[in-house]
Amino acid sequence: MLANRLLMMLLLIVVALTGCVSGGEEPTVSVASGNLILNENHADGGAWGLPDCDACHALSAIHKKADLIRNITKDKGYDTCAGCHGSNGTSIARRCIICHNTADLPTAPRQQGRFSHHYTSDVAGSMDDAHCLSCHDASDMDGRFELNQDLKHYPDQNQLLTNYSSLSDFCLRCHNRDHQQPGYEITDTDFYDPLIAIEEAFTYVDKHGAIDGLGTRTYAGLRGDYRYASEVPCTDCHAMHGTENGGLVLDSTATGFSLLNETQTYDVITNGPDYTQLCVVCHLMETILEDGATDSGNGLSGVHQVGGDCYVCHSHGEPVQAGM
């Protein structure tokens, strides 16, 4: 028995190191399928549960068809394997920041700034690998962000694993009053706190959510490909991976703002309830009124009340006033 087992292991090692497989079976893992996570069929089951990838896979023999990740994986070595391929039925750590850091992959994602979505509101701090996994558990890392491939699947209000219809749909599976996710409960908050009220606000009241076709606009005008009567995803105003602004408001047009189409980068600095520099990134005035010509401080102009308190009239869930 033992001899058989050893022979099997040896065979596996030879196959893995040379990359020669006899059968014409479809691989479980491939760029084409979008699945990188190993399952119990790993080498017909013989390699499932084994933690030492280096015992069988030589770095020089793998990833011949995966140009985008081949070199960085070779550089960083065996500590990376579980990040992309899952833990292989073991408890080996799934690491992300080993590659996704400001030195190695500075724009994927952009992580500059004191605040990030690490599940503790308004406390500065960066994320660790576990945080990445809470939003991305099986990314295909093909260089394209795909809504239903690259985000972790959380159940909807009916506890079904339905596809996400938008980026906002993803956020709202946690940010709601009555169908939060186990392990990520949001408690001790006011009924109207956007942390839990945003699902309702975004659907019924918010100007950037469900479309209100009747607006007679006093300050009309939008930049880039932004259009009236369209939804604005949460991540066009909120940064998940890093920002200097409280409330996770984006701090630069270098990330987020998906429809802006500007080659130049503008800073976005909020100052308490003064969001002038955020609003002016997407809004402008076709007909200049009030402060419409005043520079908001980042080189852009085109909103009223520049430098004032916007929150009194524009906040999430504002039922009667101008809204947000």
Unique residue bearing structure tokens 């013989």: 46
Q: Smaller CB distance to ligand HEC: residue 263 or 279?
A: 279
Residues 6+ apart with CB under 8 A from 53: 78, 81, 88
Q: Which of residues 139-178 bind ligand HEC (CB under 6 A)?
A: 139-145, 150, 167-168, 170-172, 174-175
**Residue 197 interacts with ligand HEC (CB under 6 A)?**
no
* CA-based R_g, the chain, Å: 24
Specify the amino acid at residue 6.
L
**Residue 35 interacts with ligand HEC (CB under 6 A)?**
no
Q: Which of residues 198-217 bind ligand HEC (CB under 6 A)?
A: 198, 202, 207-208, 211-212, 215, 217
Give the number of other CB atoms < 10 A from CB of residue 225: 10
Q: Which of 112, 114, 119, 153 binds ligand HEC (CB under 6 A)?
A: 119
Cβ at position 97, least distance to ligand HEC in Å = 6
Print the binding letters for residues 256-275 with ligand HEC: x by CB under 6 A, - otherwise.
Answer: -x----------------xx
**Residue 242 interacts with ligand HEC (CB under 6 A)?**
no
Q: Which of 176, 200, 205, 323 binds ligand HEC (CB under 6 A)?
A: 323
Q: Which of 43, 176, 252, 300 binds ligand HEC (CB under 6 A)?
A: 43
Q: Which of residues 2-21 bind ligand HEC (CB under 6 A)?
A: 9, 12-13, 15-16, 19, 21
Structure tokens at 206: 């918010």
Cβ at position 207, least distance to ligand HEC in Å = 4
Residues 6+ apart with CB under 8 A from 2: none
Q: Which of residues 67-96 bind ligand HEC (CB under 6 A)?
A: 68-69, 72-73, 76, 78, 80-85, 88, 94-96
Specify the amino acid at residue 276.
T
Cβ at position 157, least distance to ligand HEC in Å = 14
**Residue 300 interacts with ligand HEC (CB under 6 A)?**
no
Q: Smaller CB distance to ligand HEC: residue 28 or 112?
A: 28
Give the number of other CB atoms < 10 A from CB of residue 44: 12
Number of residues that bind ligand HEC (CB under 6 A): 138
Q: Which of 251, 252, 278, 298 binds ligand HEC (CB under 6 A)?
A: 278
**Residue 305 interacts with ligand HEC (CB under 6 A)?**
yes
**Residue 308 interacts with ligand HEC (CB under 6 A)?**
yes
Structure tokens at 188: 């001790």
**Residue 124 interacts with ligand HEC (CB under 6 A)?**
no
CA distances from 220 to 47, 94, 223, 237 (A): 62, 48, 11, 19
Give the number of other CB atoms < 10 A from CB of residue 134: 18
Q: Which of 112, 114, 192, 246 binds ligand HEC (CB under 6 A)?
A: 246
Unique residue bearing structure tokens 């047009």: 253
**CA 270 centroid distance within chain:** 22
Query: Of 94, 165, 106, which is closest to residue 134 (Cα–Cα)?
Result: 94
Specify the amino acid at residue 88.
N
Q: Smaller CB distance to ligand HEC: residue 234 or 300?
A: 234
**Residue 37 interacts with ligand HEC (CB under 6 A)?**
no
Rounded to whole angstroms, how far apart are CA atoms 142 and 96?
Answer: 15
Unique residue bearing structure tokens 């920041």: 97
Say if CB 258 and CB 268 are below 8 A apart: no
Rounded to whole angstroms, how far apart are CA atoms 293 and 48?
Answer: 65
